[in-house]
Structure 1
Amino acid sequence: MTLYPIETGNFKLDGGAMFGVVPKSLWQRTNPADANNMIDLAARSLLIEDGDRLVLIDTGLGNKQSKKFFSYYYQWGPHSLDRSLNIAGFSREDITDVFLTHLHFDHCGGSIEWNDDRSGYRPAFPRAKFWSNRDHWAWATQPNAREKASFLKENILPMQESGQLHFVDRGPDAYQPESELGFGILYVDGHTDKQMIPHIRYNGQTLVFMADLLPTVGHIPLPYVMGYDTRPLLTLGEKGAFLKRAAQENFILFFEHDAHNMCCTVKETEKGVRLDRTFPLQEVL
């Protein structure tokens, strides 16, 4: 197995929204804001090469939305999905599976592109299976008013219309140690219903793709919960249980949204679970 970090592009979001009820005087210590109160974020995917299978976890924002849409997110930096895949030695046509932690636009927007004459949409990975789960798919395709702006039908429905959509078989427990993709999955509901958090065994260690359970290093303290979470009190419990296990088992946490820290480990302290150290994924490859 070989792992590749795939930088699909950086953007910005309001710091207050990213940290909910936590005062700016606290969260800006780890995530400093600009003059517009926006903080730096990444849209970082992970590519897993395992035998003949090439699995991409999440696909970033994509590029098919309007200039007005992207103006809200202050994109910055040189990264793109195609450029990062090419640096790793691959192209979209090589991807066999796209695993989507959830269907918010910043996680799945790169899955779908315009067709040649811009009359409709098509999968951006023509040979890939797209993986979601039935409960989250129902949640995303019949969105509540709060999340409707994050579940864009043009990012989602073409996966089904193309015949490339597949659902993972979910067991009865929140943690599923094995899946069709070759890694374990933790199901969490605080951010959005049935978000999937991949747990990948690599060289005797467990690497966890954090998605929106833990957006950045700055979100490690338990009360630091995003205003975007639909069930913040549920997030508190889910995050607390996960971080305790992560500290005990020395998990490597791989961040999708931390623009300045790719990976970290955590440790138990008198104040609860806290950051141990940060490092690039290349350190453990």
Structure 2
Amino acid sequence: MNLYKIETGFFKLDGGAMFGVVPKVIWEKSNPADERNLCTWAMRCLLIEDEGRLILVDTGIGDKQDEKFFSHYHLHGDDSLEKSLAQAGFSKDDITDVFLTHLHFDHVGGAVVRENGELKTAFKNATYWSNKQHWEWAVNPNAREKASFLKENILPIAESGQLKFIDVVDGIQFTKNIKVRFAYGHTHAQMLPQLNYKGKTLVYMADLLPSVGHIPLPYVMSYDMFPIKTLDEKATFLKEAEANNYILILEHDPVNECCTLKSTEKGIKFDKAFTIASI
């Protein structure tokens, strides 16, 4: 197995929304905001080369929405999905599987492109993976989450015939070296790939743990549909991860690609940060 980070650029989100009930005077120490209270976040995907398959986990925000849409998110940086794939030695046509942790626009936007006014899948040779529970949740969204589930990001995947569903069974094997965990606090049936890599356990955290700044239990995003569920899921997972020395791959942390945890008198804390390439 080989792993590659796929940076797709940075965007900005409201700091208060990202940290929920935690006061700004506390969270801004680790995630400073600009004059509009916006913090910078990464959109870091993961490319897994394993047993003849090339699996892309999440796809970033993409580029097909209009200027008004993107003006809310202040995209910046020199990275893109295509550039990062090329740096790893691959192209979109090489991807065999697109694993979508969930269908919010900053995770699935790059899965569909607009060419000559037509929407089509960006990875023509790939199988796209979601699960039926989350798919139904996304295509029939509640009013609060509707703005995150954009039909132009989602429906063309089903229309292409490339969509398949993973059974919603926690710990189900996706490949020999990858199993799937499910989380329900941020959105319904979010999928987290757990990898067996070089004798270590790695978990791609998606939006269960967006950054090292979200390790303290009360630091829960206002974007989460069920924050009490997130609290419970984080508490259980962080205890397991610390006890077993898991490496956590962070999708949205603007600085840290991966981290480990340590147990202290004040609870589980951030331990060390490092890059995917250094594992």
Query: Which bin holds the TM-score, normalised by the shorter protein?
Result: over 0.9
| Residue 263 (structure 2) aligned to one of 259, 268, 274 | 268
Aligned to 1:113: 113
Q: Is the CA contact (8 Å cut-off) linking 1:169 and 1:179 kept in structure 2?
A: no
1:114 counterpart letter in structure 2: R
Aligned to 1:277: 272
Q: Which segments of structure 1 move beyond 3 Å, counting only runs of 4 or more? A: none
| Residue 146 (structure 1) aligned to one of 144, 147, 165 | 144
Aligned-pair CA distance for 1:245 = 0.4
Aligned-pair CA distance for 1:244 = 0.3
Task: Name the TM-score, length of structure 2 as normaliser.
Answer: 0.98
Aligned to 1:69: 69
Task: Name the TM-score, length of structure 1 as normaliser.
Answer: 0.96
Q: Deviations over 1:98-155 (max 9, x none)?
A: 000000000000000013x21x200000000000000000000000000000000000
1:55 counterpart letter in structure 2: I
| 1:247 paired to 2:242 | yes
Quick one: distance in 2 between partners of 1:51 and 1:261? Answer: 28
Aligned to 1:7: 7
1:69 counterpart letter in structure 2: F
Aligned-pair CA distance for 1:35 = 1.1
Secondary structure in structure 1 of the residue aligned to 2:167: coil
Q: What is the percent sequence identity of the aligned residues?
A: 58
Aligned-pair CA distance for 1:182 = 4.5
**Alignment size in residue pairs:** 279
Quick one: distance in 2 between partners of 1:181 and 1:112? Answer: 28
| 1:188 paired to 2:183 | yes
Q: Is the CA contact (8 Å cut-off) linking 1:114 and 1:122 kept in structure 2?
A: yes
Gaps of 5+ in 2: none
Quick one: distance in 2 between partners of 1:25 and 1:106? Answer: 27
Quick one: distance in 1 between partners of 2:211 and 2:167? Answer: 29
Gaps of 5+ in 1: none
Quick one: distance in 2 between partners of 1:209 and 1:253? Answer: 6
Aligned-pair CA distance for 1:177 = 4.7
RMSD across aligned positions (CA): 1.0
Q: Is the CA contact (8 Å cut-off) linking 1:213 and 1:235 kept in structure 2?
A: yes
Task: Write the mapping of 1:1-285 to structure 2, written as runs, cut at 5 A.
Answer: 1-115=1-115, 117-118=116-117, 120-171=118-169, 175-180=170-175, 182-284=177-279
Quick one: distance in 1 between partners of 2:157 and 2:181? Answer: 23
